């Protein structure tokens, strides 16, 4: 498709808006540009729905669960270092529950990472 085809199909206000989005997709490796004709074509089909589970920082995509995993792991470690006064039934419960939470978040982060579209 040409830039104008994309503009018309998506109802963008100008060709420059369509060009901007096409270039973003090209940088992500989702479309390629034929330099001779200036046409854009799809490189591979992408499951767009999975992208809602990712956060873009700069040029990198991170699963949302990655941040949850880092946050929970940090506080889990801080509990042991700073707040665990002695080994009691209460501290054992917190340690087991916190460990389960950390493992679940890391499992989900790795699972989402494996589903990334590119």
59 and 100 in a single domain? The answer is: yes
10 and 67 in a single domain? The answer is: no
110 and 54 in a single domain? The answer is: yes
91 and 55 in a single domain? The answer is: yes
| Total domains, the chain | 2
Q: What is the pLDDT of residue 73?
A: 97
Q: Give Cα 91 to chain centroid, integer Å.
A: 34
Interhelix angle for 64-78 vs 89-114, to 10°? 160
The tens digit of pLDDT for each residue in 27-76 reads 877 888 988 888 898 887 766 777 788 888 888 889 999 999 999 999 99
59 and 92 in a single domain? The answer is: yes
How far, in Å, CA of 118 to CA of 111, rounded?
14
| Full-model pTM | 0.60
54 and 99 in a single domain? The answer is: yes
In terms of residue numbers, what domain contains 22?
A: 3-45
57 and 107 in a single domain? The answer is: yes
**38 φψ region: left (φ > 0), alpha (ψ -120 to 50), beta (else):** left
100 and 62 in a single domain? The answer is: yes
53 and 101 in a single domain? The answer is: yes
20 and 61 in a single domain? The answer is: no
Count of helix runs (H) and strand runs (E) in the chain: 4, 4
Report residue 8's pLDDT band, with 50, 70 and 90 as the boundaries: very high
| C-alpha dist (Å) from residue 60 to 12, 49, 54, 105 | 27, 18, 10, 20
Q: What is the pLDDT of residue 108?
A: 95
């Amino acid at each position: 498709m040409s830039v104008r085809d994309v503009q018309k199909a998506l109802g963008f206000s100008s060709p420059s808006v369509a060009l901007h989005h096409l270039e973003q997709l090209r940088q992500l490796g989702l479309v390629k540009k034929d330099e001779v004709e200036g046409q854009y074509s799809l490189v591979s089909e992408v499951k767009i729905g999975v992208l809602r589970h990712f956060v873009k920082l700069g040029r990198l995509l991170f699963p949302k669960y990655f941040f949850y995993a880092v946050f929970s792991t940090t506080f889990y470690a801080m509990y042991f270092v700073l707040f665990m006064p002695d080994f009691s039934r209460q501290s054992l419960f917190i340690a087991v529950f916190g460990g389960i939470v950390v493992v679940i978040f890391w499992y989900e982060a790795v699972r989402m990472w494996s589903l990334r579209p590119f």
